[in-house]
């Protein structure tokens, strides 16, 4: 994928969608990263459409946030292409487990969402506020941030429901551990946590050493959650 990633960082949502589309076509079905990338592609396409329809009060801010957000994903997988150990700690569990058999596609997708939302979104929020010289609590920033939750729900809910229905049909009561694992991950709560993490980093940005320590702790905690999401559950 290095040829695709060489065209990043992207500068627009159109370029982000094009890069994710190219990655989707390149990755085989057995690569777990494909299933997060496809979910993220669907979400980004939906957010782009909502932005074009003026669903957000501050489209320029939200668009830049989405572009910086996407570039953190591209940067993580570009690092892993060189050396998986050099990828951000939040991303390492998924990038190391992407060829692991016995994991469901939705587990890969949710592990990617965990890394990207719980870690990258806070960093992207701070970077966008810096770039646009805005306070995160100002204007419609938080209201628009919340509106994205509805877009995510429309994309993710049917995928999660389909998986859970299939798991129950195939494995009956034996699917219970996996169903519990998947059901307990909330994207809304992850985005709420990302907002709080972003505010924390924003207000600590001028304190020596502390922001770096908070980012490091955040990355490791998020990585721990991803390892749990990527647990291989034996189903009878």
pLDDT tens for each residue of 85-103: 899 999 999 999 999 988 8
pLDDT for residue 222 is more than 70: yes
Counting beta carbons within 10 angstroms of the beta carbon of residue 54, is it exposed (0 to 12), middle (13 to 18) or buried (19 or more)?
A: exposed
- Measure the CA–CA gap between 198 and 125, rounded to whole angstroms: 6
- Assess whether pLDDT exceeds 80 at residue 182: no
- Predicted pLDDT of residue 183: 66
Mean pLDDT in the chain?
Answer: 90
Residue 45 pLDDT greater than 70, yes or no: yes
Instruction: Give the C-alpha separation, 72 to 127, whole Å.
Output: 11
Q: Is the pLDDT score of 17 beyond 90?
A: yes
Residue 187 pLDDT grade (very low, low, confident, very high; cuts 50, 70, 90): confident
Chain segment 138-181, per-residue pLDDT in tens = 999 999 999 998 888 888 877 777 766 666 556 565 556 666 66
Say whether the peptide bond before residue 9 is cis (omega within 30 degrees of 0).
Answer: yes
* CA separation for the pair 236, 232 (Å, rounded): 13
């Amino acid at each position: 994928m290095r040829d695709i990633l060489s065209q990043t960082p992207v500068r627009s949502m159109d370029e982000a969608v094009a890069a994710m589309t190219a990655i989707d076509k390149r990755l085989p079905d057995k690569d777990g990263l494909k299933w997060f990338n496809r979910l993220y592609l669907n979400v980004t396409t939906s957010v782009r459409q909502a932005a074009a329809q003026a669903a957000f009060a501050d489209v320029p801010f939200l668009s830049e946030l989405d572009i910086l957000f996407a570039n953190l994903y591209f940067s993580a997988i570009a690092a892993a292409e060189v050396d998986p150990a050099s990828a951000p700690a939040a991303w390492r569990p998924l990038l190391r487990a992407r060829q692991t058999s016995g994991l469901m596609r939705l587990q890969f997708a949710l592990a990617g969402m965990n890394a990207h939302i719980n870690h990258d979104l806070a960093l992207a929020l701070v970077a966008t506020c810096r770039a646009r010289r805005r306070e995160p609590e100002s204007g419609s920033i938080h209201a628009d941030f919340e509106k994205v939750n509805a877009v995510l729900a429309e994309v993710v809910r049917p995928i999660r429901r389909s998986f859970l229905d299939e798991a129950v049909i195939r494995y009956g009561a034996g699917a219970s551990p996996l169903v519990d694992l998947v059901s307990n991950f909330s994207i809304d709560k992850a985005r709420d946590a990302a907002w709080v993490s972003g505010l924390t980093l924003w207000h600590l940005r001028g304190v020596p050493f502390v922001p770096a320590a908070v980012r490091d702790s955040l990355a490791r905690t998020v990585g721990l959650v991803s390892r749990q999401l990527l647990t291989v559950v034996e189903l009878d």
